[in-house]
Structure 1
Amino acid sequence: MRNYDVILFDLDGTLTDSAPGILNSVRYACRKMGLELPAEATLRKFLGPPLIDSFRNLMGLSDADADRAVSAFREYFPTKGIFENEVYPGIAALLADLKATGKTVIIATSKPEDFAKRIMEHFDLARYCDFICGATLDETRTDKAEVIAYALETAGITDKHGVVMVGDREHDVIGAKKNGLPCIGAVYGYGSAEELRTAGAAVLAETVADLHKILLG
């Protein structure tokens, strides 16, 4: 197995199970805008992609209505939804072991950066991270490839040998590939093995224990 010195992690569905807070925030936004609540299967598709894209693509909203839906979502999420969330078992130990062995740990998430920092600090995981990088609140940086590029630039990484992305959705794999990085697919998250394999994940981790073995042997 290849030795990775720099590991970029997605957040939702990779480090934490944030589904309850995200889906409750979507439900709140729909109610506020008088929209019919999507079926559960559709709601689950909000987990991973940039939020504004999901409101457009999954609910067929115009750009203006999608903007309003995002604003409504953010009325609920920062005070309630953000902590309707829990760390996957084994993640804290994995991050601690990566840090102890001298690896560089970077968060690269499509969640707004301020929210990502609050979550990592809340769960006492920020201390294991060298950089926490995310999207912008004004939607100018939400695409996963853009977030990964920003994370690499923030960390001053130009040599991509030994750098890998870890994520649970196809957006993570595609974003990594656009930046010349391999991606480990976290099957225990919100995406399926088929989705991750089809997108081109370099290897799949069925469990956090598998991920630990891939990254540290």
Structure 2
Amino acid sequence: MKAIFLDLDGTLMDSKPGIESSLRHAFQETGHDELAASDLTWMIGPPFQDSFARAGVRDPDKAIALYRAHYQASGMFTASVYDGVFDMLDTLADTGAELFIATAKPHAYARLITAHFGLSRYMVAEFGPELDGTRAHKGDLLAYALQETGHRPDSSVMVGDRHHDMDAGARVGMPTIAVTWGYGSEDEWTGAAARIDRPAELAPAIASLG
């Protein structure tokens, strides 16, 4: 593969603590204490505009603003890179493939995070939505990334943990690899060309795609 597109949250990093604390804050401030006390893993991956609406929040834009203020103040760097990821990135870089971030997190935040944790040095470019919601859906984002990089979908691969990653790959005709250590579940990985349980398995899985 000439291009490897990597999801961030749940694939390269365990970002759940910071994201979840900021989501709880947004729910509490909008009067949804019962949601603030619930498991919010399902909200990591899809666009927050959709997820807050699905949760029954009357004003998703207000909830997103509350989330972002808290996230920037105290949640952004409350995260950790998964064990084995740096070794995985070193191995992938040695293959000569170009590495890219393709995340549902706005790139204004994602680039600060990848720089802070030492991930950005591996990436040719990093793609994420705009703060106004442009390209918030992963399929739109991946199509844009292919257009910007000039890579062909059949010589690229999308690596992620949620069905949004698998769906995005299918939409643009790109094979996908599901990682099982993130926030997804088995029923989300339908259509993936491979599933891997450890970062060390990614390079061989990509090589097997031809």
- Sort the TM-score into its range (normalised by shorter chain): over 0.9
Q: Which residue matches 2:57?
A: 61
Match among 48, 51, 64 for residue 51 of structure 1: 48
The match for 2:178 is: 185
- Choose which of 127, 135, 146 in structure 2 pairs with 1:141: 135
Tell me how far apart the structure 2 counterparts of residues 20 and 207 of structure 1 sit (CA, whole Å). Answer: 21
Q: What displacement does 1:79 show?
A: 2.5
Letter in 2 for 1:13: G
DSSP-derived class of the 2:189 partner: helix
CA distance in 1 between partners of 2:47 and 2:185 (Å): 18
Partner SS state of residue 184, structure 1: strand
2:108 corresponds, among 103, 114, 122, to 114
The one-letter code sitting in structure 1 at the alignment partner of 2:32 is L
CA RMSD of aligned residues (A): 1.4
**Matched residues in 2 for 1:69 and 1:103: separation?**
39
Which amino acid counterpart does residue 69 of structure 1 have in structure 2?
Answer: A
In the alignment, structure 1 residue 201 sits paired with structure 2 residue 201:
no
- CA offsets 1:99-129 (integer angstroms, 9 cap, x no match): 2221110111110011111111001110100
Which deviates more, 159-168 or 12-21? 159-168
Contact 1:10 1:167 in 2 (8 A): yes
* Unaligned ranges ≥5, structure 1: none
- 1:216: how far off? 5.2
CA contact (8 A) 2:154 2:173 kept: no
Count of aligned pairs: 207
Aligned partners of 1:168 and 1:190 also within 8 Å? yes
Instruction: Indicate the percent of aligned positions where both proteins have the same amino acid.
Output: 40
Q: Which residue of 2 aligns with 1:40?
A: 38
Equivalent position of 1:30 in the other structure: 27
Amino acid in the other structure paired with 2:8: L
**Aligned equivalent of 2:11:** 14
> Partner amino acid for 1:10?
D
In the TM superposition, what is the alpha-carbon distance from 1:177 to its structure 2 partner?
0.6
Return the letter of the residue paired with 1:154. E
TM-score using structure 1 length: 0.90
Task: Say if 1:27 and 1:37, in contact at 8 Å, map to a contact too.
Answer: no
- What whole-Å deviation, never above 9, does each CA across 1:8-41 have from its counterpart, x for those lacking one? 0111000000000110010111122222242533
Q: Decide which of 201, 204, 213 is 2:204's aligned counterpart.
A: 213
TM-score, structure 2 normalization: 0.93
- Distance between the aligned counterparts of 1:151 and 1:117, measured in 2? 15
- Letter matched to residue 153 of structure 2: K
| Runs of 4+ that moved beyond 4 A | none
> Where does residue 162 of structure 1 map in the other structure?
155
The whole-number CA distance in structure 1 between the counterparts of 2:207 and 2:87 is 12
State how far apart, in whole Å, the 2-side matches of 1:17 and 1:121 are: 16
User: How many Å apart are 1:213 and its aligned residue?
Assistant: 2.7
Shift of 1:135: 0.7
